[in-house]
Chain A
Amino acid sequence: MKVRVSGGLLIMAKEESFIHLNVVSGYSFQYGTAMPHQLVERAGEFHMSALALTDRDGFAGGVRFLQACAREGIAPIVGSNFAYSADGVRERRKSPAHGGVRVDSALPRITLLARNSWKGLARLVSAIHAQQERGAPILTRNILQEGSDFSILLGTDSNVAHALSRRRPDLAAEYLREWREIAGERIVIECVSHFHREGIQSVEGAARMFKFAREHQIKAVLTNQVRMLNKEDAPVADVLDAARKLVPLHRRHVERSNSEAYLKSPAEMYRIANEVARAAGESARDLLHGTIACGEAHVLNPHDYLGGIYLPEPEVVGGLSHGELIEILTQRCEAGLSWRYQSEALRLRGLYRLQEELSVIKSLGYESYFLTVADIATMARERGIRVAARGSGAGSLVCYLLGISGVDPIDHGLLMERFCSPLRRDLPDIDIDVESARRLEIYDALFARYAPTGTWPAGPARTAAVSMVETYRARHAIRDVGAALGVPPADIGMVAKSFPHIRARSIKNALAELPELRNGSLQNSIGEAKLTMWLSLAEKLDGLPRHLALHPCAVVLSDASLLDRAPTELSAQGYPMVAFDKDDVEAMGLLKLDILGVRMQSAMAYAIQEIKREQKEDVDLDSLALDDKETFDLIKSTKTLGIFQVESPGQRELVGKFGPSSFNDLMIDISLFRPGPVKSDMITPFLKARHGWSEAKMIHPDLTEVLYETEGVVVFHEQVIRIISIIAGVSLAQADEYRRALGRRDGLTEFGEWFIARAHERGYSPEVVNELWEVLCAFGSFGFCKAHAAAFALTTYQSAWLKQHYPAPFIAGLLTHDPGMYPKRLILDEARQLGVALLPVEVNHSDITYRVEESDGRLALRMSLCDVHGMSEHEAATIVASRPFLDIGDFMKRTRVSQPTAEKLVTIGAFDSLYGITSQPGQIGRRRTLTRRDLFLYVSDVSKWGNSHVDQMALDLPAPQVVMSGLPDITLAERVRDELEILGMDLSCHVLDFYQSFLNELGVVPSSDLVKQRSGALVFVAGVKVASQTPPVRSGKRVVFLTLDDGTGCSDSTFFDDAQENYSYTLFHSWLLLTQGVVRRTGERGVSLRATGCWEITALYQLWLAEGIDAVREYVADRPAAKRASQRTLIHPTGYRQSPYADIKPTGESLRKLWHTSPGSVG
């Protein structure tokens, strides 16, 4: 066939527009290369009136797309693209590389466009995901037939196109007949010319589609099957193809043959229409008009989905009508008054506040919201699960009375307005903290009540989990691009791991800036050119969605229309999950509730259980008086390890300086230890005034009442609200609106003008007004919500109280649930310092958890089986269930524990008591003295015998006996090494003890003696790394905090730029460290080092052994001149400066959690 595509004038109607009906974004996971808002913005530049988003397998980007469309004034069209198989049977092709399951199926694909509403499409997506295995959804005829409010686009991947491409118009007509049976007039044929040389996406192929549509009187549209924003994005698409299919880049695996699938301009699309129409001998105008008409028929109104509020119906929370709900809420709150307050005066005070709050709730119609959250808190309590509100919700008396929160907002000066106000339409945010170990029990109860079996995916389900979009960050991008380029896995791992957990777009900056990456070692091992290309491509994946995951704590609650509003799928954990993330569901007006698993709650619940079991005492943490002097003395002593929120090195320093002695002080302490206060330097003036070194400045007498509690320093959001309210004479609700404006650059100026004028008007002097304005600006958006601090402080107080009064059970809880930032070995050390004896793992005594036992008349801690490396939960449970054991043979026979695990148990002495082994490590075994070494050999004999015994019953070999070999027992050093390897803890003695003579000779200062050093002295400290953190700090440069433990306590060192230059590699990648630094006194008990260098101890130890102490001194004195790399500083809208590497997990990895590498949070 000879096709003439040129030779005449082109119809170029520039003033006319075009509507793209087939466009996928990054939400077609690992397929599209652009984000919805980018596509919408480009469509805006093209003056397009509408744009479709038709992502694969759902419309997870739907809400973002609608929001972008609403912003740009473009009408949204929402659709989705699916693999189709009439009967759901998939063709499976195995991938040679990975034996693969996730190979793209060869099934045809079709595109559905929602008509009038996306309800039908949402239901269809849920139905598909409910029927099939995760990850490879297939649309079937049955599901397709159930819905009707969508059109079906048959494009180049449809069976019709496949037939036409094989020049089988008869077959194509047969397929079309089937489609018409299913969807009648809702069928549309889609012509695509990507300028292929031949085939269905060539000009001629598109013309064939167009002619076919004409012949069968079907609507035809022109699309560009868009998967990129720009032509230049094509290599990114290739990498995504390879990553999705888990194969290296090869023509065979790449889906494109050119770069035409980008969002083309109307002019470009007109040109294509002309060429296609000419080739088909039809009219281009018809094709274009058909396309635009089809688009206009599928336009949705974004406001149908954004901004409403859909709370559970009255009958779900126990009322028949809305009016009844008001009554129920009022009654329950009034009952709460009698429960919470013992005196009449307090009840009256509460009643007054309650009436105010209730009228706000009523005016907003949020009764159902509060009752629903209360219902969930009650569900938890009924199951005996600890629950606490977090966040601004604690500011509401209603939350306190309903048992959602545990702190009295009136006592602590917390404001309802910070949480919920008639001036804000977005739903207030209540988060609840529950025991981490029992969080899913609450999920189960929640789903049983709000989405009972059978209501998903077809019925009126009212709850679902919320998803979280996992996007490409540096390490993943490097891994996927490396794999696509065929780099050997070892090299991929090496390059990926050498980067911190930063955004992909910052890879090259990190390479240029971070001292540990600048040494050129990556370039040397990979090759400069290859590395550069690899990393440039990885940067281009920045922020692209990889897949949907279950959000760790958020659930959504709604009325029965949930499944009409949001597409859902089943999460890997088996919970229905909406395909939207938490910002999306909030924008849609669905109630989002965070149910956070807090390990400290589990640890405390466990401690209470142990107290009850071993000491037969009942402890009710929730009714403690909040003024126990001993508890505050403990906090002030800075021995806060294990206490919620105040155990980090920075917090230890702060409580040492501050000395909090009341619950209110705890709230202040927690709030001061945040980026905002650090940035605006609130800590120093506060402490000076607190300690009486300077006078508290109240700015103006009107504010004394507000600022008194914090010595004139503004710490809390609540104080800002009150200041604005008092000075400007507006309501608290109004004041909170202005407070929110402070965090926005545009809002700041506007509010500033208003505030200053208003304050002048009300007679405040210019000096006062200026000073106030400075304070408010500095405060920015970074202050802390006092209600949130109160909720935190309660847990801080409770955990400190437990540590003070029940140290052994508390430590057992810490070790069992591991809530804190430190490795367990440091918690063991803390136990030793608290005088709690440590009992080794014993097969006849140890449990799956850490138990408190009485030993020699005092409480001791029994190590648990759960930390034995390689022991499965099942093995541990079997051991506990099969106790007691007579000997190793009996143990192995009845538990069927694997030989390596049994050997590990022998190695750490879990059978010592069974065999009466009491020998000290290193002792030469005398005749008739068994050692662990003998037992170790015996395990292998028993194991062999056990195997042969099973295999060859007839032989009936005699069981082996334990033999005393007379070999020397393992040394103490070997024992500690084994303990570290197997338990991750040095139980017998501190690991640093082995280096003590060397360290003494070098003159290393023990941590406990640091406080006696004079300020400015240059000293050595040594220890095991327990934490390295890179929190945000004021100067905006990356600062690394290192905490070492040497058995006498912890020492904290700070590495600034110059010290990082030569030592950051050692710092991040070593475990036993010697640090040199200048002593800095920070308070009565506070001391830290400004580090000047650090070295790996074992290397120095070897040097000492070989050449003596002078060689070591010479070695540490010789340091290369620091080469400075300029680091970028991020400046926030409020002027807050931050290093781009703050709050980012540093590099370096450990097999066992031997130290804390922090996401850097200062808390």
Chain B
Amino acid sequence: MSGQGVERGFLLDVVAPAGEPLFFTWRGRAYRVHSVLSRWCESGGWWQRASTEELVHESAIGEINDGARTSWRVEAAPEGALAVYDLERDESSGLWRITHHG
């Protein structure tokens, strides 16, 4: 599901006061979101992490992390050239990533 040639681990600073991203900073540059092209949500597969340390800790308190994340496909630009970016928010940690651009 992640796009090719994308730095999956790269965390973004995103301004999204009502959930919808308005600005973000990536590779040291500030981007303004011009419009949201689409949005989707994904989750599931919690059972696959059943053996990892991560889940060991979570399950100890009986809460299951279902890996929920919301993606926003936006048109954004630092200045001038408009391009399409996929921003993904991990719903449990609140961290944002870029999953696709170009």
Binding site for B on A (CB under 8 A): 2-7, 194-198, 202-204, 231-232, 234-235, 238, 249, 251, 254, 256-260, 275, 484-485, 508, 529-530, 532-533, 536-537, 539
Contacts and interface: CB of A to CB of B under 8 A. Distances in A.
Contacts of B15: none
A257 B69 CA distance: 11
22 contacts: A3-B37, A4-B35, A4-B37, A5-B36, A194-B41, A195-B41, A197-B1, A197-B42, A203-B38, A204-B38, A235-B46, A235-B66, A256-B43, A257-B44, A259-B43, A259-B66, A529-B55, A529-B56, A530-B50, A532-B59, A533-B50, A536-B64
A808 to B, nearest CB: 59
B41 A259 contact: yes
Given A536-B59, A536-B64, A258 B41 contact: yes
Interface string B39-57: 1111111110011000110
B38 A202 contact: yes
Given A251-B45, A258-B43, A258-B44, A485 B50 contact: yes
Q: Could you say which of A4, A231, A275, A533 has the most chain B C-beta atoms within 10 Å of its C-beta?
A: A533
A195 B39 contact: yes
A258 B42 contact: yes
B3 to A, nearest CB: 12
Contacts of A536: 59, 62, 64
B60 interface: yes
B13 interface: no
B63 to A, nearest CB: 8
A277 to B, nearest CB: 15
Given A3-B38, A197-B71, A533 B43 contact: no
Contacts of A6: 20, 35-36
A257 B70 CA distance: 12
A529 B38 contact: no
Q: Could you say which of B38, B45, B59 has the most chain A C-beta atoms within 10 Å of its C-beta?
A: B38
A309 B36 CA distance: 59
B60 A532 contact: yes
Given A7-B35, A533-B64, A196 B40 contact: yes
B13 to A, nearest CB: 20
B89 to A, nearest CB: 13
Given A6-B36, A195-B41, A257-B43, 9 more contacts: A7-B35, A194-B41, A195-B39, A196-B40, A197-B42, A259-B44, A529-B56, A529-B59, A532-B60
Given A258-B68, A533-B55, A485 B35 contact: no
A532 B59 CA distance: 6
Q: Could you say which of A6, A198, A234, A485 has the most chain B C-beta atoms within 10 Å of its C-beta?
A: A6
Contacts of A251: 44-45
Top-10 shortest CB links A-B: A533-B59, A6-B36, A536-B62, A529-B56, A197-B40, A195-B41, A258-B41, A7-B35, A249-B47, A258-B43
Contacts of A232: 66
Contact of A257 (B37, B38, B42, B55): B42
A202 B1 CA distance: 16
B38 A532 contact: no
A234 B66 contact: yes
Given A259-B66, A532-B59, A7 B36 contact: yes
B36 to A, nearest CB: 4
Interface in B50-87: 50-51, 55-56, 59-60, 62, 64, 66, 68, 70-71
Contacts of B51: 530
B66 to A, nearest CB: 5
Given A5-B36, A197-B40, A533-B55, A485 B47 contact: yes
Contacts of B46: 235, 238
Contacts of B43: 234, 256-259
Interface string B15-46: 00000100000000000001111111111111
Nearest to B53: A529
A830 B38 CA distance: 80
A484 B42 CA distance: 21
B77 to A, nearest CB: 15
B39 A203 contact: yes
Contacts of A7: 34-36
Contacts of B35: 4, 6-7
A4 B84 CA distance: 13
A249 B66 CA distance: 13
B39 to A, nearest CB: 6
B59 A259 contact: no
A258 B51 CA distance: 22
Nearest to B52: A529
B98 to A, nearest CB: 16
Contacts of A256: 43-44
A405 B41 CA distance: 65
Contacts of B36: 4-7
B42 A537 contact: no
A203 B40 CA distance: 8
A241 to B, nearest CB: 11
Contact of A259 (B34, B39, B50, B68): B68
Nearest to A249: B47
Contacts of B64: 235, 533, 536-537
A196 B70 CA distance: 10
B40 A238 contact: no
B44 A254 contact: yes
A275 B70 CA distance: 16
B37 A260 contact: no
A665 to B, nearest CB: 53
Contacts of B38: 3, 5, 197, 202-204
